[in-house]
Amino acid sequence: EAQVTQNPRYLITVTGKKLTVTCSQNMNHEYMSWYRQDPGLGLRQIYYSMNVEVTDKGDVPEGYKVSRKEKRNFPLILESPSPNQTSLYFCASSLLAGSLGNEQFFGPGTRLTVL
Amino acid sequence: KQEVTQIPAALSVPEGENLVLNCSFTDSAIYNLQWFRQDPGKGLTSLLLIQSSQREQTSGRLNASLDKSSGRSTLYIAASQPGDSATYLCAVMGDSGYALNFGKGTSLLVTP
């Protein structure tokens, strides 16, 4: 089944404890991205990747890191989480970046709480 | 920066009604526009993707239109059902092909 998977689905952690949220897609998509969703603010793009080893900042990149060493995986790293990073996080992928017919497929989400 | 606005923010209709959800965007230089459905606590399900060169797309009871020059899109839902209750999100892909900007959604409740 074609899908985007995220792990963990739920995470409660404490301020300053490094964490990684994994994202994997099995559709051989080139483009992957991360979003956070907050009440009243909607979905905002954190980082995106056009292909392996190619990443760039979205609208709210502060406090996050990403890497794209393999085409299928795009982990989101919070090196020193803070309470304002408590949010619902989504990973997404699409076949190609910068082209027509660029349908985005989303993962199920990761609910992160930072105490 | 692209701003995407969805009106209304919330909508309640009786079952069977036809309804229209609106999405407007400030920068007409877009690659495509995508409508999503989000159920409470769940991920996003893609409903329709309209490329910038297209005027509309249809899938079952859903029809989405795009007027790029005026910065507007509408999602038409025919013969609404209680199972249509969800939040509907509009997302615009800028002409770089990399940045996806979302509206804040319309929360739809269809009552039996």
DSSP string, A7-57: E-SEEEE-TT--EEEEEEESS--SEEEEEEEETTTEEEEEEEEEETTEEEE
pLDDT at A103: 85
* pLDDT score at A107: 95
Q: Which of B102, B56, B32 is CA-nearest to residue A90?
A: B102
Give the C-alpha distances (Å, rounded to integers) separating B19 from B35, B60, B108. 15, 14, 10
Q: Given pLDDT bands bounded at 50, 70 and 90, which one contains residue A98?
A: low
Strands (E) in B68-105, as ranges, are 72-77, 86-94, 100-102
In angstroms, the CA B39 to CA B17 distance is 20
User: So what's the pLDDT on residue A99?
Assistant: 60
Q: Report the alpha-carbon distance of residue A19 to residue A28 in Å, rounded.
A: 26
Q: B42 or B67: which carries more pLDDT confidence? A: B67
**What average pLDDT does the structure give for chain B?**
93
Indicate yes or no: CB of B91 within 8 angstroms of CB of A44. no
Percent of chain B with pLDDT over 70: 100
Nearest residue of A to residue B97, measured between CA atoms: A98
Average pLDDT over residues A50-69: 95
**B23 close contact with A: CB closer than 8 A:** no
Residue B31 touches chain A, beta carbons under 8 Å: yes
The pLDDT of residue A24: 98
Q: Is the pLDDT of residue B10 over 80?
A: yes
How much is the mean pLDDT over chain A?
93
Write down the pLDDT at residue B31: 86
Average pLDDT on A1-23 reads 95
**How near does any CA of chain A get to the CA of B58, in Å?**
15
Which residues in chain A have their CB less than 8 angstroms from residue B34's CB?
A: 103-104
Is B98 or A58 the better-scoring residue by pLDDT? A58
Closest CA to B105 of A6, A2, A40, A20: A40
Which of A34, A96, A100, A110 would you mutate first to test chain B, the one with the most B CBs within 10 A?
A100
Q: What is residue A49's predicted lDDT score, i.e. its pLDDT?
A: 94
Cα of B79 to nearest chain A Cα, Å: 26
